[in-house]
Amino acid sequence: MPTIAQTLAKELGKSEEHVQNVITLLDEGNTVPFIARYRKEMHGTMDDQTIRTLADRLQYLRNLEARKAEVKNSIETQGKLTEELAAAIDNAVTLAEVEDLYRPYKQKRRTRATIAKEKGLEPLAELLFKQESTCPVPEEEAIKYVDPEKKVETVEAALAGASDIIAEWISDDAEVRKHLRALFVQCADVVSCAAKKNPGDSVYRNYYTFVSPVCKVQGHQVLAFNRGEREEVLKVGIDMNRDAALNVVKRYTVKRPKGNATAFVESAAEDAYDRLIFPSVEREIRSMLTDSACEGAIGQFALNLKPLLMQPPVKGFVTMGLDPGYRMGCKVAVVDGTGKVLDTTVVYPTFGDRKKQECIEILTRLIKRHKVQHIAIGNGTASRETEQMTVELIGGLGHGSGVSYAIVNEAGASVYSASPLAAKEFPDFDVNLRSAVSIARRLQDPLAELVKIDPKSIGVGQYQHDMPEKRLSETLGGVVEDCVNAVGVDVNTASAPLLARVSGLNAGVASNIVKYREENGAFTSRRQIIKVPKLGEKAFEQCAGFLRVPESKNVLDNTAVHPESYEAAKKLLDLCGYTEKDVRAGNLTELRARMKAYGEAKLAKECGVGVPTLNDVATELMKPGRDPRDELPAPVLRTDVLEIKDLKPGMELKGTVRNVIDFGAFVDIGVHQDGLVHISQIADRYIRHPSEVVAVGDIVTVWVLEVDERKNRISLTMRKDKVKKNA
């Protein structure tokens, strides 16, 4: 039997040594970001996603081993564990296989078979199931078991009981179930239909007469008809050719050539399939499809969440946040370059022309008073009207004003504004004004603001409310953690929620850091962080490299160089003819060339680190305080607006990808209503999923294919060849 490390190494295509090192590091309490960044020599430079995959599979395989031990122990206490059965359990590679093998030995609720056994019919069932050439005619043998005292009144009753016992044995046969499950996956169809005769139009209309092979059904289709079934709009089931399935069942249970008991066993096999196996396997297939669809949806959610969190910040500018609305008006907040609130108000741009002009006058005064440079508009209710008002506002300021606006995804802003965290941060603000502050800050630093919100509320997935809560939270929490640690956190300005996402820290320690700096002033070195209550040496080891201290005299404290590599960094500078002053002045342009001339392997050895760590140190020395998000395309800032009626087929536009789902991508092209680029319109080649080409936050060129003003639908393409045919 291969070890867990060997199994993982084979699955991931990594060396067994590196996999075992990661397992050891995880077991020692090291976090994924720390392992990925600062233990590269030990794992062969696996990225954080690979390490998370390894950690997930490690947990599954350990649970599998634990379950195998439980099952073997249970069967052994019954005195039924044979060497052959133990070996089969040991060789099982999934929990489903283990449960199939355990099925005959599980304590069952009272069934027709157990009732028949209580009546003493098991010997009759055993004799007939053997189907030996010497087996008597079933009716003749069954006479011996007629016993009114045991409520076996007739031969037919005795045979019915024996049939029930045999049917349960067949249903519990691991080989039968294994091969039937494989047959269902390859040959069965999943079907859905309307639950009522005249269902009318609904979001589930595509599933009123839906048929798809189990092996080809898409995850979003599974999630859609599952929800339709829960809402009692649809009926869903699995359709399998009964004869083909019975052939599999009989192949493992009916012996050839035919004997006296063959027909009886065949009948019991058919009963086993119809009454016990099919409903059970149907549930298993439905469950398998749902699990797979959920994993796919969670994976896509994570894939979408990362680029959203990693959107380039628009740092250092005074920003006005607008939270649009009809009845309650448009909430306004002005924040300075650090996110500090300077002013708030409420205006009513949708209450007629007079109120709109009054709104423009009020906002103009705020812009001039606080020297606002950017306006962030939430993309929710009344966003289009607010955007049009903003364009008029900017036009009135004149061409040299330098003011621009951006549409900001406001998903989750209301969740944050009503949270205890927001109440603590802005105790004197109305809930709605808190949303306006959040929208402004989202443009300034999306990551710092979005970490305050439950990732499930950010709205870049599909059917997230149907996902397993624990699994979704774990996955998305991992994405947030990876993003925060990839960027790094300024320990002197970060909020407690942001600090809580740093490797090695938790909510309690993060609060202690904020409290410490409030009481003692800004941190002046990384090492000073160890003075924070409940932050021990292990936590410091895990978090130190991800915390930045710009105020420190040591330039390395404002880089991703870990304190354990400070001596290596100084040695590298010395061997390459540089000083710390050169680092501060940004004079290390020739560092790579000097390293190459010296020999990286030789240099790494003299510095006492591996080559991967040496290269990471060099990268940080060349750009101290760098933000990896700055290397990504900047958000689209606009000064004008389009309306859906302005769109014409063939029109070329720049847009921002807002969401990526199984069947396409939604792109913001500046008309309030996002346009859909169907998967077939994303590339001029076959792609299995839109995420192969686009990600949330990407700036893409699109062409208008079709506009339906009545239904408020916009169809777009990223394929120029399609434009020529439709323009």
pLDDT tens per residue across span 63-115: 999 999 999 999 999 999 999 999 999 999 999 999 999 999 988 788 999 99
Tell me whether residue 282 is in a domain: yes
Cα angle 204, 208, 210 (rounded to 5 degrees) comes to 105
Q: Report the Cα 721 to chain-centroid distance in Å.
A: 34
Same domain, 284 and 366: no
Residue from 65, 47, 49 nearest 7 by CA: 65
462/514 Cα distance (integer angstroms): 36
Residue 185 φ/ψ, nearest 5 degrees: -60, -40
DSSP character string of 21-36: HHHHHHHTT--HHHHH
Q: Which two tokens stand for residue 475?
A: 């996955």
pLDDT at 20: 97
Tell me whether residue 558 is in a domain: no
688/690 Cα distance (integer angstroms): 7
Cα distances from 586 to residues 523, 559, 621, in angstroms, run 24, 13, 8
Same domain, 163 and 24: no
In b/e form, how buried is each residue of 362-376, taking b as 16+ CB within 10 angstroms? bbbebbeebebbbbb
Residue 489 φ/ψ, nearest 5 degrees: -130, 130
How long is the chain? 727
Last-in-domain residue among 451, 466, 481: 466
304/287 Cα distance (integer angstroms): 25
Tell me whether residue 551 is in a domain: no
The CATH number for 92's domain is 1.10.10.650
* Residues with Cβ within 8 Å of residue 45, at least 6 apart in sequence: 612
197: burial class by Cβ within 10 Å (0-12, 13-18, 19+)? exposed
Cα distances from 367 to residues 404, 430, 562, in angstroms, run 11, 22, 43
621/607 Cα distance (integer angstroms): 15
Domain enclosing residue 71, as ranges: 4-105
CB 576 within 8 A of CB 591: yes
Report which DSSP code applies to 274: I
Same domain, 188 and 270: yes
Residue type, 292: S
Same domain, 288 and 329: no
Tokens 């949270």 sit at which residue?
419
In b/e form, how buried is each residue of 110-133, taking b as 16+ CB within 10 angstroms? eebbeebbebebbebbebbbebee
pLDDT digits (tens, 9 = 90+) for 126-151: 999 999 888 899 999 999 999 998 89
Same domain, 152 and 98: no
Strand 664-668 and strand 699-708: the pairing is unpaired
Last-in-domain residue among 105, 126, 143: 105
pLDDT at 416: 85
Segments of 50-179 assigned E as strands:
none
Tell me whether residue 707 is in a domain: yes
pLDDT at 639: 61
240/244 Cα distance (integer angstroms): 8
Tokens 């990732």 sit at which residue?
455
CB 405 within 8 A of CB 281: no
Indicate the number of domains in the chain.
4
pLDDT at 727: 46
Strand 341-347 and strand 330-335: the pairing is antiparallel
Same domain, 291 and 146: yes
> What are 321's strand-pairing partners?
333, 376
Last-in-domain residue among 426, 442, 466: 466
317/314 Cα distance (integer angstroms): 7
pLDDT digits (tens, 9 = 90+) for 419-456: 888 888 888 888 889 999 999 999 999 999 988 888 87
Cα angle 150, 153, 155 (rounded to 5 degrees) comes to 115
Q: What pTM was estimated for this model as a whole?
A: 0.80
Q: Determine how many CB atoms are found less than 10 A away from the CB of residue 6.
A: 13
Tell me whether residue 503 is in a domain: no
Residue from 666, 636, 629 nearest 654 by CA: 636
Residue type, 316: G
Tell me whether residue 621 is in a domain: no
Same domain, 274 and 140: yes
563/575 Cα distance (integer angstroms): 19
Residue from 336, 497, 435, 378 nearest 426 by CA: 435
DSSP character string of 257-272: S--TTHHHHHHHHHHI
Tell me whether residue 607 is in a domain: no
Same domain, 138 and 270: yes
618/601 Cα distance (integer angstroms): 14
Residue 311 φ/ψ, nearest 5 degrees: -60, 140
The CATH number for 294's domain is 1.10.3500.10
CB 92 within 8 A of CB 98: yes
Q: Report the Cα 363 to chain-centroid distance in Å.
A: 40
pLDDT at 638: 64
In b/e form, how buried is each residue of 675-713, taking b as 16+ CB within 10 angstroms? bbbebebbeeeeeebbbebbbbbbebebbbbebeeeeee
Tell me whether residue 349 is in a domain: yes
The CATH number for 662's domain is 2.40.50.140
Cα angle 68, 73, 79 (rounded to 5 degrees) comes to 130
Start-to-end Cα distance in the chain:
63
Q: Which two tokens stand for residue 215?
A: 């092996």
Same domain, 277 and 204: yes
DSSP character string of 66-87: HHHHHHHHHHHHTT---HHHHH
pLDDT at 640: 64
Q: Which two tokens stand for residue 431?
A: 């809930």
Same domain, 284 and 401: no
Residue from 165, 173, 170 nearest 117 by CA: 165
One-letter-per-residue 3-state SS of 295-359: HHHHHHHHHHHHHHHCCCCCCCCCEEEEECCCCCCEEEEEECCCCCEEEEEEECCCCCHHHHHHH
* Residues with Cβ within 8 Å of residue 348, at least 6 apart in sequence: 329, 330, 355, 358, 359
536/38 Cα distance (integer angstroms): 19
Residue from 184, 191, 190 nearest 248 by CA: 184
Same domain, 89 and 122: no
Same domain, 290 and 345: no
What residues of the chain score a pLDDT lower than 70?
632-634, 636-642, 672, 724-727
Segments of 428-492 assigned E as strands:
489-490
